[in-house]
């Protein structure tokens, strides 16, 4: 994981990728535009920590999965999912931060999108099998431009 704050304490636009499947993590990271920063949370518990108020000002975008039990770190990870993280996002993340839900869970993914949209977020739901680099890379670039405008 990359450090969230560099040595000069200068904030850098970061895409938070919440994904427990290592192959999907690699795919998403390979689609990141050159020179753009990302941090990955492979479990719900780690994602909750990264969604604390301490870090959220650096997030230009959040990529969110629902089923996060593949890489549990603490026992509580087995009971948590993307649905759990939606509450932390609503509580801590500025409403202008766009969210991309890339879950293959056809019922929970749309439920998370609805809940986040009702809270005022811009949300896309694109299941991972249909998500492409041609869609992902411009989405990240646009999110970082928005983040720059909001600073």
CA 2 to each of CA 69, 103, 119: distance values in angstroms, whole numbers, following the listed order: 22, 24, 29
Threshold 0.75, pTM exceeds? yes
Tell me the pLDDT tens digit for each residue of 77-96.
Answer: 677 778 889 999 999 999 99
pLDDT category, 4, cuts 50, 70, 90? very low
Nearest alpha-carbon partner for 137 in 22, 27, 5? 27
Question: Of all residues in the chain, what percent carry a pLDDT higher than 90?
Answer: 62
pLDDT surpassing 60 at residue 10: no
Q: Which domains does the chain have, with CATH numbers?
A: 14-150 (3.40.50.2300)
């Amino acid at each position: 994981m990359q450090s969230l704050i560099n040595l000069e304490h200068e904030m850098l636009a970061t895409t938070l990728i919440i994904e427990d499947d290592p192959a999907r993590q690699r795919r998403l990271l390979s689609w990141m535009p050159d020179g753009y920063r990302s941090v990955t949370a492979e479990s719900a518990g780690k994602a909750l920590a990264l969604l604390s108020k301490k870090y959220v000002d650096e997030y230009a975008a959040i990529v969110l999965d629902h089923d996060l039990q593949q890489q549990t770190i603490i026992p509580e990870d087995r009971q948590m999912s993307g649905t759990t993280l939606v509450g932390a996002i609503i509580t801590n993340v500025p409403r202008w931060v766009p969210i991309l839900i890339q879950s293959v869970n056809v019922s929970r993914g749309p439920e998370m999108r609805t809940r986040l949209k009702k809270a005022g977020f811009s949300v896309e739901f694109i299941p991972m099998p249909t998500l492409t680099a041609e869609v992902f890379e411009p989405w990240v670039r646009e999110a970082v431009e928005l983040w720059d405008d909001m600073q």
